[in-house]
Amino acid sequence: MSKILSLTLSPENAAFDDSINNHICKELNSSDIEPSQWKILKKSIDARKKEVKIQLRIEIFEKEIKEKLKIEKHYKDVSNSEEVIIIGSGPAGLFAALTLLERGKKPIIFERGKDVRSRRRDIAAINKNHIVNPESNYCFGEGGAGTYSDGKLYTRSKKRGSIIDILETLVFHGAKEDILIEAQPHIGTNKLPKIIANIRETILSHGGEIHFDTKVVDFIIESNTIKGVVLQNNDKVLAKNTILATGHSARDIFKLLDKKSIEIKNKPFAMGIRIEHPQGLIDQIQYSCSERGPYLPPASYKLVTQTNNRGVYSFCMCPGGFIVPAATNSGEIVVNGMSPSKRDSVFSNSGIVVEVKEEDLTPYEKYGELKGLFYQMALEKSMCKITPVLQVAPAQRMVDFINRKISNKLNKTSYQPGILSQPLHEILPESIAHSLSNSFKVFGKKMKGYLTNEANIIGLESRTSSPLSIPRDNETLQHIRIKKLYPCGEGAGYAGGIVSAAIDGKKVAEKI
């Protein structure tokens, strides 16, 4: 028999088992409860009032619990089982592979990029030398866009059971158990590569295959059924089922699908900028304090508004993080954000993006369903044209942007390739610039102090979600026309983040 108790404590009291235990004893009017008798089920921060509180949901047992957590996974040896091709080793591809191992099928993963360790060198080259390797970068390589990401694991998905399963699988492969109880779980970019490498080890040791530096360049299709794929060295690989999990930056795959008249669909997406404030300022605003102190994590925020008939919202907020160059080709500038597990940088960043409307795409109509993709590409290129050094990003101070004034000085930034003062209010399309400007004023009212020249805005945040979807049958999850082809994850339009991509990969693998 166990009892559930909810406690609201100060950050300091919630930081130590002994003080939590004292509060449990007080609450239950008992003096003989030990820390070994309870476990925290959920932990969240309540910063709505002036005094910030930590809310804990705790399960208390009558006796000592020997193992507070035991996660078991049952992966089968699939060395001689039926093969399933998986294109892409992002969260969708990897979780599809793990699910196939559980169900006794052999995953054969083709990944255009490198393993996590070799990929690190290419990422350093983007930051230091401004060289973008089109096959190995922040988006491409083992673990996909999820590896050198922030590792925030919150999702809008309501599928509680599936979310827990993904989180437990990550813990099984080395993530800290905290992610199971935190209301806003986060792994951190420094911890993710090891977890991804452990997942690789599980796949290989159970008989699956992973081929790095191996790009899929064509599909083998007969009688509206996919029979296999063609690799860049012209090798052909056949299998009964193919999972397409190439993410939203694999533009060559979208173009290939379009060329082969395999149905794809233009879909709503959003673009904007990344904004960077001093973390101390965000802490002060969110925690109503002059200093955060040692017991609270760096504060985050979530902002949303509607202006000029467009949704504008914050996206992928990274407290104590860095802005990173996430382009997949030279000649384009794309920024994104990440943070290490401790979130200890002095900066806070977040994407602020504006809904793209059909009317914005009128000049791109000739590209058919690819029109959103071409609009996205044009904007990324326009950012690059104006800076003399590749990957140096255009930037402006926040109030200057609203006042349509070039910044004569920029604030310090975490963006390693560097920033250059540019009139973003002119460079961005008016639809985006105007909506951003209006929404900054609204956000400044919602969060007093947010609208400030202490913040830089940096262009371009363009890869928040896929501009395309690859339609599939709701029941079979196969492509609506091409049988045995399972589009999944973010690139296919069924996910928006690590956890939802992983859930979708699992779902298609279960269907197979």
Interface ranges with ligand FAD (CB under 6 A) = 87-93, 110-113, 138-141, 144-146, 149-152, 215-216, 245-247, 249-250, 253, 316, 324, 326, 336, 338, 489-491, 495, 497-499, 501
Nearer to ligand FAD, 60 or 187 (CB): 187
Query: Minimum distance between the CB of residue 490 and ligand FAD, rounded to whole angstroms?
Result: 4
Query: Minimum distance between the CB of residue 194 and ligand FAD, rounded to whole angstroms?
Result: 17
Nearer to ligand FAD, 52 or 353 (CB): 353
Nearer to ligand FAD, 38 or 148 (CB): 148
Sequence-distant (6+) residues with CB within 8 A of 398 are 275, 440, 451, 452, 453, 454, 455, 456, 457
Nearer to ligand FAD, 54 or 499 (CB): 499
Residue 84's SS3 state is strand
Query: Minimum distance between the CB of residue 390 and ligand FAD, rounded to whole angstroms?
Result: 18
Nearer to ligand FAD, 88 or 340 (CB): 88
Between CA 40 and CA 54 the distance in angstroms is: 12
Of 169, 165, 166, 163, residue with least CA distance to 198: 169
Query: Minimum distance between the CB of residue 482 and ligand FAD, rounded to whole angstroms?
Result: 16
Of 479, 504, 473, residue with least CA distance to 489: 504
Query: Minimum distance between the CB of residue 410 and ligand FAD, rounded to whole angstroms?
Result: 22
Query: Minimum distance between the CB of residue 351 and ligand FAD, rounded to whole angstroms?
Result: 10
**Cα 209 → chain centroid:** 25
CB under 8 Å, gap of 24 or more: what pairs does 9-17 form?
9/53, 9/54, 9/56, 10/51, 10/53, 10/54, 10/295, 11/52, 11/53, 11/54, 11/293, 11/295, 11/296, 12/295, 13/54, 14/43, 14/54, 14/56, 14/295, 15/295
Q: Residue 479 is which amino acid? A: H
Nearer to ligand FAD, 90 or 319 (CB): 90
Nearer to ligand FAD, 248 or 484 (CB): 248
Query: Minimum distance between the CB of residue 126 and ligand FAD, rounded to whole angstroms?
Result: 11
Angle at 252 between CA 248 and CA 256, to 5 degrees: 110
**What is the phi/psi pair of residue 204, to 5°?**
-70, -45
Task: With beta carbons less than 8 A apart as the criterion, state whether 482 and 225 touch.
Answer: yes
